[in-house]
Chain A
């Protein structure tokens, strides 16, 4: 799982540099974000613009990240493609997460 991290003031922007967030990637993704959270980064934007496909394991991993960030932090998802978004909607995850169209809009949510 390749990610690229960018800091904007106290925000951590995580670009997911993969086409798929699936069962193969979910554990590694969760571990990488856990490292970030444990080192004090709790205001996180996850940028999905490269992601073409997500399965239920990928969704589960993002829910897990949301729980790690907890109520003292904030997680915003950005750049989710329409097809990928349908997986969020079907599982009600579109109601669970704060979702923005792009990075600029995501930064405005903090």
Chain B
């Protein structure tokens, strides 16, 4: 990630247990709020972070609860950048599924696959790559 404007930075590390996810979500929401973002923007950034970590737990680590997940929050003057890093399986098809279901036909309403949809709708920059043994998801939200 390009380091610009000398961002404020904090790094979180958790074990891959679902009960730990809210700790990072709440912290990121509060830090974004402290940086002057409005409630809706803070919520959206928390949501994307939570979805990204849930993906690490469910897909990269296949629900093993003793693996490490690192989250780096970089607060710039013009954007927020978040890196979510795991050491599990690489997500080969990292893109959202089509959201074209019939809303009136209950049987076809999806119960999953909405996490990436939310990330791709909310974030302005999304980059997912494997570097050595790490999977690194970078998400950026640029301030209007």
Chain B nearest CB: distance from A72 CB in Å? 12
Contact B106 A71 (CB under 8 A): yes
Is A102 at the interface (CB under 8 A from chain B)?
Answer: no
Is B115 at the interface (CB under 8 A from chain A)?
Answer: yes
> Known: A90-B121, A90-B122, A91-B118. Is A20-B22 also a contact (CB below 8 A)?
yes
Partner of B106, one of A55, A66, A82, A92: A66
Is A83 at the interface (CB under 8 A from chain B)?
Answer: yes
Interface centre among B46, B51, B111, B121 (most CB of A within 10 A): B111
Q: How large is the interface on B (under 10, 10 to 19, 20 to 34, 35 or more residues)?
A: 20 to 34
Chain A binding site: helix, strand, loop or mixed by DSSP? helix
A45 to B36, CA, bound (A): 36
Is B101 at the interface (CB under 8 A from chain A)?
Answer: yes
Give the residue name and chain of the A residue nearest to B50 (CB): A55
Residues of A within 8 A of B112 (CB): 56, 60
Contact A60 B111 (CB under 8 A): yes
Contact B103 A57 (CB under 8 A): no
Residues of B within 8 A of A60 (CB): 110-112, 114
Contact B18 A92 (CB under 8 A): no
Give the residue name and chain of the A residue nearest to B100 (CB): A92
Q: Which residues of B contact A (CB under 8 A)?
A: 18-19, 21-22, 25, 39-40, 43-44, 46-47, 50-51, 54, 57-58, 99, 101, 103, 106-107, 109-115, 117-118, 121-122
Q: Which residues of A contact B (CB under 8 A)?
A: 20, 22-24, 53, 55-57, 59-61, 63-64, 66-67, 70-71, 82-83, 86-87, 90-93, 95-96
Besides A83-B43, A91-B118, 4 other A-B contacts (C-beta < 8 A): A24-B18, A60-B110, A87-B118, A92-B103
